Amino acid sequence: MSAALLALPGQEALAGTLRAALDVPALTLATRDFPDGETYLRIEGEVKGKAIAVLCTLHEPNPRFLPLAFIADALRDLGAVSVGLVAPYLAYMRQDARFMPGEAITSSSFARLVSRQFDWLATVDPHLHRWHALSDIYTIPAVALQAAPLLAEWVRVNVEHPVIVGPDEESEQWVSGVAAAAGCGYLVLKKQRRGDRDVTVSGLSKHDWSDRTPVLVDDIISSGQTMGQAVAQCRSAGSAPAVCVGVHGIFAPEALAALQQAGAARIVTTNSIAHPSNAIDLSPLLAGAVRRFWQGVGHPPILPR
Ligand code: R5P
């Protein structure tokens, strides 16, 4: 089947490695903002009759989503056979319940919007907590890839005598997989979040440590508060300086500096979001999933709507 990759601006590095792994041509996108704030979009390259994968990681989703939805429509208009979304970071997964009366459950609203625009979705370690699977909220074939084997391989090569540490109970799903694949033990700490930037992490005692280097593993580093507090916990338990490994490095302003100040020995992320800390390449993982969608493996063939 004839196929192509179209990447939205801002992910050129990952687009290059993913395109090479898929061995398909790239479509290019010409875009600019009009003076009134609306967006001009033009897809350059042959679309008709092709299966198209659109690469758009979805941190800072609000300004990204509208152009993305327009592009999916335009690709269909131009005759694409199918239009899939590769969103290494999937937004709006954390508001998965109504914690206060009147709150919007944005994870399901966002899932409905994406499901209307795309034929399939591939993402990496979405924040599945109260939702147990993407199929709880996405109505298209959607795959949640796991970065744990890649994280484990990085740890195995780069850290001597590691112990994997999860900063909160939710992280056990990632931490246990990384520890198993890296062949070492793991611990899970307790987190209390009172506000966006008001977090405490506890649950570590001095006897938890011997000659091990703590490797903190979490799905998201956003404000950096969770990782920062966990780094500080490790330090006060007398450990060697902790290495921080995040799947998705969102890094709000000052988060990186705060983590460094807390005493992190090294901060490493996957390239789901372009950042200087990127050290783990997701493209082989993503390429495998895209190929399976294109070949119709594990789901009905993706047909035109
Ligand atoms: C929360 O449940 C996630 O797994 C992460 O621990 C959290 O999103 C990290 O956020 P921050 O860096 O703002 O503490």
Checking 193-198 for CB contacts under 8 A at 24+ apart, the result is: 193/225, 193/226, 196/223, 196/225, 197/223, 197/225, 198/225
Instruction: Report the distance separating Cα 176 and Cα 185, nearest Å.
Output: 8
Asked whether residue 301 is domain-assigned, the answer is no
Asked whether residue 304 is domain-assigned, the answer is no
Give the domain range for residue 103.
3-146+282-295
Give the residue among 234, 238, 196 at the shortest CA–CA distance from 216.
234
Do 118 and 198 fall within a single domain? no
Do 141 and 245 fall within a single domain? no
Among 170, 218, 227, 233, name the best residue to mutate to test ligand 1's pocket (greatest count of ligand atoms within 8 A of Cβ).
Answer: 218
Q: List the residue whose alpha carbon is closest to atom 2 of ligand 1.
A: 170
Q: Ligand 1 mean position to 41 CA, how many Å?
A: 34
Which distant-in-sequence residues (6+ apart) come within 8 Å of 123 by Cβ? 86, 87, 88, 89, 90, 134, 142, 143, 144, 145
Asked whether residue 302 is domain-assigned, the answer is no
Do 28 and 104 fall within a single domain? yes
Do 113 and 217 fall within a single domain? no
Do 87 and 203 fall within a single domain? no
Domain count, the chain: 2
Q: Ligand 1 mean position to 217 CA, how many Å?
A: 11
Ligand 1 within 6 A of 269 CB? Answer: no
Ligand 1 within 6 A of 43 CB? Answer: no
Beta strands 142-145 and 120-124 are parallel
Ligand 1 within 6 A of 219 CB? Answer: yes
Do 115 and 230 fall within a single domain? no
Do 229 and 172 fall within a single domain? yes
Instruction: Report the distance separating Cα 90 and Cα 125, nearest Å.
Output: 8
Structure tokens given for 30: 């010409």
For residue 264, give the H/E element and its range.
none
Do 69 and 216 fall within a single domain? no
Do 55 and 168 fall within a single domain? no
Atom of ligand 1 nearest to the CA of 226: 14
For residue 132, give the H/E element and its range.
none
Ligand 1 within 6 A of 170 CB? Answer: yes
Q: How many CB atoms lie within 10 A of CB 303?
A: 9
Digit-by-digit pLDDT tens for the chain (305 residues) are: 799 999 999 999 999 999 999 999 999 999 999 999 999 999 999 999 999 999 999 999 999 999 999 999 999 999 999 999 999 999 999 999 999 999 999 999 999 999 999 999 999 999 998 999 999 999 999 999 999 999 999 999 999 999 999 999 989 988 999 999 999 999 999 999 998 888 999 888 776 766 899 999 999 999 999 999 999 999 998 899 999 999 999 999 999 999 999 999 999 999 999 999 999 999 999 999 999 999 987 665 554 44
Ligand 1 within 6 A of 125 CB? Answer: no
Angle at 112 between CA 106 and CA 116, to 5 degrees: 150
Asked whether residue 127 is domain-assigned, the answer is yes
Do 78 and 210 fall within a single domain? no
Ligand 1 within 6 A of 272 CB? Answer: no
Do 75 and 154 fall within a single domain? no
Q: Ligand 1 mean position to 163 CA, how many Å?
A: 20
CATH classification of the domain holding 60: 3.40.50.2020
Backbone angles phi, psi at 69, to 5 degrees: -65, -40
Among 124, 194, 222, name the best residue to mutate to test ligand 1's pocket (greatest count of ligand atoms within 8 A of Cβ).
Answer: 222
Q: Ligand 1 mean position to 214 CA, how many Å?
A: 18
Asked whether residue 300 is domain-assigned, the answer is no
Do 74 and 189 fall within a single domain? no
Q: Could you report the per-residue pLDDT of 210-236, keeping only the tens digit for each? A: 689 999 999 999 999 999 999 999 999
Cβ atoms 111, 121 nearer than 8 A: no
Q: Which amino acid belongs to residue 16? A: G
Give the residue among 70, 75, 90, 89 at the shortest CA–CA distance from 4.
75
